[in-house]
């Protein structure tokens, strides 16, 4: 189907666009009262994510209510461990929790490589329903966690400030670590390819815990696997967002991907110099800037846009939008990008 608004895809490929496309990481859910109403009609996040009609509905809400240039499928990065045989729970106000963790060779033996179409059928169905309902209005973004970030949750069993159990594994048992990372990588490639077959127009890899590794470990335990994914996905543009990986920007420029995401600690001019001219950059307004008043949000957005001027850019925040941000300020951010000349 022909897309009516393909700004995101053209910007990702480095083609000319009339204006800069804009969307927000974590736009589906979190901030919209309309999302909370749908979520409160079921038992919680997991049931919502596993009910394709409802997942499609909350995926489209930000397109209707905020006017973003892309939809991102409503799901979570933690569906992959579950599809590999490690189920998770979403504990209200505390986040994800795994009743069992993966720390030994015998734990590894209980896992399987996920098959996207069968093990994650509810996501694939949600993508198909969303595509139909969007009717070509904007592109649909598929996504997955980067292998290192997924590894961190599978070993740790929950979120953590230090992920010290996961990082312990890298030092004490690199063989185990590489085996688990490879299982996750193979599952993720299957999953992303299934999302693309179902209609995802672009895919993004979220490496949310990139910043807790040092440069050498990041290369060995994360970039190596992200690179396998980038090489395997040739059907649609790929975006890699590695939060906190300022030290790896030069290497990110060498990945087989179209777009590199920047967080707000990464200087724009410096990032462009390190990453090179062959990539689109996505980001990178501080999510906390949206706590300002409309004039402040407008000024901060214009300042960001000025710094990206004249180079390949997709406007976004430097991380996911915070749950207590006023949707009106999100609209000011989006409108300011759209009007920027």
Active-site pick, 13, 19, 36, 76: 76
Looking at the Cβ atoms of 78 and 198, the one nearer to ligand CP3 is 78
Confirm whether 30 is a catalytic residue.
yes
Closest approach of ligand CP3 to the CB of residue 191, in Å: 13
**Catalytic annotation present for 26:** yes
**DSSP character at residue 288:** G
Which residue's beta carbon is nearest to the bound ligand CP3?
Answer: 29
We find the least distance from the C-beta atom of residue 277 to ligand CP3, in angstroms, to be 27
Residue 39 a catalytic site member = yes
- Give the helix ranges, DSSP H, for 211-267: 215-218, 224-232, 249-252
Least Å from the CB of residue 270 to ligand CP3: 22
Out of 30, 36, 219, 298, pick the active-site residue: 30
| Residues ≥6 apart with Cβ < 8 Å to 95 | 158, 159
Instruction: Please indicate whether residue 76 is annotated as part of the active site.
Output: yes
Q: Does residue 13 have an active-site annotation?
A: no
Q: Which is nearer to ligand CP3, 75 or 282 (CB)?
A: 75
Annotated catalytic residue, options 13, 36, 39, 219: 39
Residues of this chain that interact with ligand CP3 (CB under 6 A) are 25-30, 39, 45, 72, 74-78, 90, 95-96, 143, 159, 206, 208, 320
- Preceding peptide of 320 cis, ω within 30°: no
Cβ closer to ligand CP3: 148 or 176? 148
Long-range contacts of 264-271 (CB under 8 A, 24+ apart): 264/317, 264/318, 264/319, 265/318, 266/318, 268/304, 268/307, 268/308, 269/307
Instruction: Give CA 329 to chain center in angstroms.
Output: 22
Chain Cα centroid distance, residue 229? 14
Q: Hey, which residues are catalytic here?
A: 26, 30, 39, 76, 153
């Amino acid at each position: 189907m022909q897309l009516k608004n393909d700004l995101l895809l053209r910007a990702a490929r480095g083609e000319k666009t009339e204006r800069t496309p804009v969307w927000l990481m974590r736009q589906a859910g979190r901030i919209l009262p309309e999302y909370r109403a749908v979520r409160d009609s079921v038992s919680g996040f997991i049931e919502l994510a596993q009910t394709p009609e409802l997942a499609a509905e909350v995926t489209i809400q930000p397109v209707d209510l905020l006017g973003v240039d892309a939809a991102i499928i409503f799901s979570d990065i933690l569906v992959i461990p579950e599809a590999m045989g490690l189920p998770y729970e979403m504990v209200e106000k505390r986040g994800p929790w795994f009743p069992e963790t993966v720390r030994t060779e015998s734990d590894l033996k209980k896992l399987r490589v996920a098959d996207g179409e069968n093990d994650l059928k509810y996501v694939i169905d949600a993508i198909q329903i969303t595509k139909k309902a969007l009717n070509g209005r904007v592109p649909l973004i598929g996504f997955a966690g980067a292998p290192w970030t997924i590894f961190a949750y599978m070993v740790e069993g929950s979120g953590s400030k230090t992920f010290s159990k996961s990082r312990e594994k890298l030092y004490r048992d690199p063989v185990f670590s590489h085996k688990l990372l490879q299982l996750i990588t193979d599952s993720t490639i299957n999953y992303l390819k299934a999302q693309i077959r179902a209609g995802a127009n672009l895919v993004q890899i979220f490496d949310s815990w990139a910043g807790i590794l040092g440069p050498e470990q990041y290369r060995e335990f994360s970039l190596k696997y992200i690179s396998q994914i980038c090489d395997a996905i040739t059907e649609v543009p790929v975006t890699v967002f590695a939060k906190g990986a300022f030290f790896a920007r030069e290497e990110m420029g060498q990945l087989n991907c179209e777009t590199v995401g920047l967080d707000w600690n990464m200087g724009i001019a410096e990032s462009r110099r390190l990453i090179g001219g062959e990539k689109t950059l996505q980001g990178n307004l501080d999510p906390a800037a949206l706590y300002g008043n409309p004039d402040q949000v407008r000024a901060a957005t214009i300042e960001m846009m000025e710094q990206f001027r004249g180079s390949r850019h997709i406007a976004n925040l430097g991380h996911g939008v915070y749950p207590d941000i006023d949707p009106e300020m999100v609209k000011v951010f989006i409108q300011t990008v759209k009007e920027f000349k």
